[in-house]
Amino acid sequence: MAWATLEDLADHMRMSGDDAMGRALEEAQDWAQRKRPDLDPFAYQGPSIRKAVCIYAGLLYREGSSPQGIPGYESEGGGFTDATAYYRALDMLGNRKPVVR
């Protein structure tokens, strides 16, 4: 079981899922589990974790599907950058939360 599914990512990106999107999702899942090793990778973690994985997978997918690198959102007039998306994913993942050991 994963923290996010291909259907979650396809919905997030408003596209139909494909193999490249599946690979990006696997990479994002691995990234998220390295950032939060205290969480069970086989248990449901809630909507914010799922969204964080989808945001990061979307960034990875866009990076791989663009010949000139990662395209920006600025052309759409929103001023939303990939750095903003990355830090939003980290925040939703709870990356900087203190962990009791």
Per-residue pLDDT of the chain (101 residues; tens, 9 = 90+): 589 999 999 999 999 989 999 999 999 999 999 999 989 988 988 999 999 999 999 999 988 776 555 555 555 555 557 788 888 899 999 876 655 66
Is pTM beyond 0.85? Reply is no
In angstroms, rounded to a whole number, what is the distance separating the alpha carbons of residues 6 and 19? 10
Q: Which of 10, 12, 56, 63 is nearest to 35 (CA)?
A: 56
> What one-character-per-residue DSSP string does 31-54 give?
HHHHH-TTS-TTS---HHHHHHHH
In angstroms, rounded to a whole number, what is the distance separating the alpha carbons of residues 6 and 76? 26
In angstroms, rounded to a whole number, what is the distance separating the alpha carbons of residues 26 and 46? 18
Q: In this structure, what DSSP letter does residue 75 have?
A: G
